[in-house]
Structure formats: C-alpha cells, structure tokens
Structure 1
C-alpha cells in the first residue's frame, strides 16, 4: 500500500513483476501462449519455460499451434509426448498439429538474449465422442473425432440432409453444431410434357426409385429419355418432343409456295401460279407422319405451265381411281384402276394426253357385275 502526506512530493518509483513461465495443466483442454503474446508484446530474452499438459483420464489429446513466430534456430519450442521428442519448432512454420494417445505433452520453450519475436499461441483438447441421438437414416463418419477435426454426415438413399453436413469438434469435447436430420425426399406431381403425355408414375419418392414415364404425341419424336427419375433435387430433366418435319419443298417455277413456318405433321402447303400459268397437279399437299414416324408429303410437287400449252382435263372415274390428278400435261399417261368388285370395260387401262388437248383413247370405265 502506498501512503503520502499533503506537504512533499517526490519522483516516485516503478515496479517490474514477472510471473514464472513453468506451467502444469491437468484440465484436459485449454489454451497456452508464450509470455507476452496475449498482450501483444514480444517474449522476453533468455527464457527457459516448461509446460506440462496432462489429461487426468488419459484421453487421446490433440495439440494445435495456431500461430508461431520465433527467431529461427535460436528460439525454439520442443514438443514431447511423455519423454519422446516429437518435433522442435522454430521460425515461422505453418499450423502444426500433434497427437498424444495418453493425453500427455511436455513443452520446452527456450530463447537466447538477442532477438525476440511475437511468440506463439496454441490450444489442446481431448476429442469428441459422437454418441448424440441421431435421426433415422443418418450416416455418421467417424464416431470418434479428434479436436479440430469434423464428423461428416450423410443420409440413406432417398433422404435429404437438413442441417450442416459436418460438425466441428471444439475444445473440451464439445460439438460446435447440432447433428442434422434426414428428411424423406418427395418429388410431388410430375411436370407436364409439351406435345407429349404422361404415361405412368411408379412412385413419387426417391427411396422407391420413383420414375415418371412419358410419350410424345403422333407427329413428334422424343429427344432424351422417356423415363424421368425422382432425384434429390426433384424430378429429373424432362425429355423434349420435337416435331417431325417433311423434306423441304423445292421452289415452284413460275409460281409461289405458301408454306407454314414448320413442315410438321398435318401442316398444309398451298401452291399458286403466276398470271399466265396454270397449275398442273394438286393445289394443296400435307405433311403426313406414318406409324413408323417417317414424314412425307401427301401428293407430288405440282407445276405451273403456260396457258398456251395444251393440257387435258382431269379424269374422274366412277367406281375407280387414277394415278394423276388435276389438269394433265401433254404426253402424261393416266392409269385407271377399278375398285374392288368392278372391272374395266375394255382391253386397255390408261390413256395419254396428246397435242390437241384430248386423250388418245376414250376414257376407260369401271363396270360392276350387274351393270
């Protein structure tokens, strides 16, 4: 205690106090630093410090040097497991970790009288035993985790992890976060498919390996898999139903082709001739996709002929059919076929359009049994 009176004042005095640096800790966990480190000062010169760390229960213990800065080669920390030297630290090594299976470490910190640096800080602790209660379908690896390490969590197939996928083992064998849970993955109703149909759903749950099966409408072909699985992120990627297109039409000489944007199933194309030309053939043609998903035009490409060119009239046969439609051009052969139950009345089954715009023979007719 310092006591003064009211009459005289002097220069005063200063006191320097130095605590010993030999330490023994039996708590099983804690933090240790070089002298002066916690106050931001450099460690003193000519130190001879001994630190003994013992876990009373002899549990496996981890020692971690987080920061280390001493004079290279001259200021050192020797780390022992009981009496076995594990390593001599000096200078600025990276984070260094040591393990003792019996929970015992001995540290010897020695400095010379010349250069001092900021020193070092370290922590030590026994590990964590993951004997906490976990939700069903949770997978934990490993069960025992050393201090400074993490336990990893995952779920059985068909379940989603809710929470952190890992938990850090902190000082004192305490987990930093609670264990996660596993939630059943439900994909819900499948999405509709444009230009397609949903055939069936085996299950809406991933654990059942649920799938949704699709098919494309007639006139469309599928790009991708027809089977879409229920996954951790929901239903997988839908396939695409792309329209099957007919071959591109050639330009119509002396005319125009009025076409849709796409040549898909049942899309109609119209042909128009320029003034002074007549259309020979069908005015319309449609893109037809058959059962084998092959696309073709319903009628052959017509032509635009000058109106001064002779042509014959279109033939219409009662109870029969012909192979050419529309006005018939010079030299074209028209074949006549009778329907079932009918037969031709002559010895020939076709006629040819001649230069005068008439057929070379009379048009064949189809007669029935009682005609």
Structure 2
C-alpha cells in the first residue's frame, strides 16, 4: 500500500490511445501505486476492459470532477466530456481516428485542469501519432500539442524541450519531431543556448544544485575542427561559451559517439561525469537512452508552465489486449512527476 499523502491537487494520468497498451499500463501502475493523489483520465469502460486484460479485480469509482476525493481501494476515473462514444468498438492494435480523438481530448481536459490549478502534475500514457492525425489533431505528438495548449494570451508558444531519463542517463534534445534535414537547419546558437538554459533550470528544480551538462556535437568526431562540418564551430561552441557566462556548467561539444558513455551513471564501477547530455537530434539522443532499457525510462517535457511526464515507449499495438504490457516505465513516470511537482 502506498504511503503517498492525499493532496487536494492530484496527479492526472491520461488514458492514451485506447487501441494500444496505454489503458493497461495505467491501471496496472495505479494498482501497484495506489497513491491517494493519483486519478485516471479517460473512458471508464476502456479502463474496466483494461483491468480485465491485466487480470485485476478492482472496483471503479467514476468521479464527477478530476479533483474529487477518491474512495479507498477503487480505481478513480474522471471521464471528461466530449469523448467518442464507440471506443470499445475500435479494433485493438490498429490505428483508429476515434481513439486518436479520445486521446487528444483527455490530454486537453487534463491540461486545462492543471492550468486551472486543480492538478499539480500530468502523466500521459502513449498515443499513436497517426491516430492523432486521423482524429483531426494537427500536431505530431504530445510535446507539440501541450506546447499549443500552453500558449500565452498573445498566442506565443513556450519554448519546450524533450528530456528522456532513466536511472543511468538523462538526455535533453535540441530538436524533436522534424525531418533530419530540417533538424540540421534548426541547430543555431540561439536554440542550443535556449536548450542549455532550459535543461539547467529543470535539473536545478529537481534538486541538482549545479548541473553538469555535456553537449554532443552534431557531426562525426564533433566536426573534427571543421573537417566534417561547421555546425560545432559556428553554432554549438558559441552557445556553450554564452551559457558559461550565465553560470551554466556546460562543456563540449564532445564527439557524439562517446559522450553518452561518459555521462552514463552506473556506480560504483562507472559514476557518470555529467548529469545530463544535450543532444542535437531526436535519434542521436534517444537511441542511447532506449538502448539502456525502456522499462524505467521517462519522457519529461521541459519548458512548459506545468509538469508533464510519460513512459519512454509507444502504444505497442502488437501486444494490446494480451495482458503482457509492462507498467514499469509508467510507474517511473508517476514517481518522476511527484518529484518534479514537489
């Protein structure tokens, strides 16, 4: 039984894609955690089905409001208005416009609750980008949708970055969901510096007093003095110099094929040299984190005016409905959300 103290402002855990494993890992993580501060956001019948898939026999409490008190030992579900009515009819393991629309509706509703001060953190189950698009959502993923939902009154978007973390390695990305050709064009001094500032601030909020930041180069051997590309000389090194004048302990650029090994924290044999690596592109940064194992990996969106974490894996359509889904990454995301929310 969890010893988490009940809060009037809960953590909200969204359903994710109803045709994937999101509902299954959500209910399984709740069953392991049973924190009084945790509420599930989504279709109540989808969650009941997920309980059956995972072999869990738990009563379900349908809450009228997201921050209502939850009865003890009942799965607490808040079903936001506006969900599609036919989610159980959608084939498991397949792209569904209805499932994509429902996943987005849960994210929007949970974000509104947090921005209104009725929640202190958001944990999101995996969504499917193709289903999201089919459901009429013009954003490629969670990060971009949340960024749009957090625009200010003048429509300005907050600068956000993706961090993936596990017990051994943290990585923050300069570029996210764009084609590789576009990503290279986005690597500017200003964008790299902004990433360093966001990463430094996030780690300080998480309790690291003086974060040590390693910066990966873009090109092989970090450009080898300009022989293999000029981005390191023209953009990345100047950003590191500017960050250091601001009191940020940023170092590099380092060769991207070795910097992640140097930062990996696996004591006692291998204490990491750095607290985080800033990587230039999506795959450059995420491959090493995921290679170490997605079971405990957590995706954190930095730069938002709210706390958001999620598991470090996708919808796993191939095992949806089989009861084989592992909730470990979801549980890690819940723990991380509590740390960041304070």
Fold similarity call, TM over 0.5: no
Give the TM-score taking structure 2 as reference length. 0.19
The structure having more radius of gyration, on CA atoms, is: 1
Structure with the higher helix share, 1 or 2: 2
